[in-house]
């Protein structure tokens, strides 16, 4: 199940939207479609691995898989990537340990696509190229010699399929998850909440 919850940051003139859900296989992807009416900054932060409090104020428990974020421009080129496993953990229990963060200032107006995947399932460079582990639903189990295990780190530690993601874009931009066959979408909460605030104001 994919949930979208709004968190508004008026000081930076940006809207942050929180998403969460669960993968059932290692090779699943989350696709977020972003439409910028003008040039603006895009940032995204996962809370899958270390947990923490998301932009909507929800406490996200630790224990999810190590995520990867990829941002593609309107022509499908990969313009930014961040893998959580490339980060140095800041200390025991750190909420940013092995979570992913990307910041893309001055993104061109128009459409772009943000993709979330599990560590090791990396973009091949173009949105049309798919991802390196597509069709391999339990590739992380190979590190412990299991033919069926999922969400296993290279050190053998078991994680869950749970993920959480905050996406920040300029006010007025559209941020819409793309539903797939395995995802039940609860969408539009950020847009509806913002519109209601403006009507009251």
CB 44, CB 114: distance < 8 Å: yes
The domain tally of the chain equals 1
pLDDT at position 49, please? 92
pLDDT under 50: residue ranges of the chain:
1, 6-12, 92, 94, 181-201
CATH number of residue 189's parent domain = 2.60.120.380
Rounded to whole angstroms, the Cα distance separating 128 from 109 reads: 21
pTM for the full predicted model: 0.82
Residues 6+ apart with CB under 8 A from 168: 9, 12, 14, 15, 16, 17, 41, 42, 43, 44, 55
CB 129, CB 121: distance < 8 Å: no
pLDDT at position 4, please? 56
pLDDT at position 201, please? 47
Partner residues linked to 174 by β-bridges: 35
Question: What's the residue count for the chain?
Answer: 201
pLDDT at position 3, please? 56
Range of the domain at 71: 2-200
Instruction: Give the H or E element holding residue 52.
Output: strand 52-53
Task: State the DSSP code for 88.
Answer: P
Rounded to whole angstroms, the Cα distance separating 145 from 126 reads: 31
CA atoms within 13 A on the CB side of 126: 3
């Amino acid at each position: 199940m994919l949930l979208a919850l709004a968190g508004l940051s008026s000081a930076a003139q940006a809207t942050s939207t929180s998403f969460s859900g669960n993968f059932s296989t290692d090779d699943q992807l989350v696709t977020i479609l972003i439409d910028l009416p003008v040039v603006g900054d895009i940032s995204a932060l996962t809370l899958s691995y270390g947990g923490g409090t998301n932009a909507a104020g929800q406490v996200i428990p630790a224990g999810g898989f190590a995520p990867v974020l990829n941002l593609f421009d309107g022509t499908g080129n990969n313009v930014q990537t961040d893998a959580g496993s490339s980060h140095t953990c800041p200390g025991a229990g750190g909420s940013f340990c092995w979570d992913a963060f990307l910041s893309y200032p001055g993104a061109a107006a128009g459409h772009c696509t943000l993709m979330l995947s599990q560590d090791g399932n990396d973009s091949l460079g173009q949105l049309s190229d798919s991802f390196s582990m597509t069709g391999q639903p339990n590739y992380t189990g190979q590190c412990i010699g299991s033919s069926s295990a999922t969400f296993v780190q290279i050190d053998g530690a078991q994680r869950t399929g749970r993920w959480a993601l905050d996406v920040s874009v300029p006010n007025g931009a559209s941020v819409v998850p793309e539903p797939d066959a395995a995802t039940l979408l609860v969408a539009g909460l950020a847009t509806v909440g913002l519109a209601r605030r403006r009507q009251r104001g």
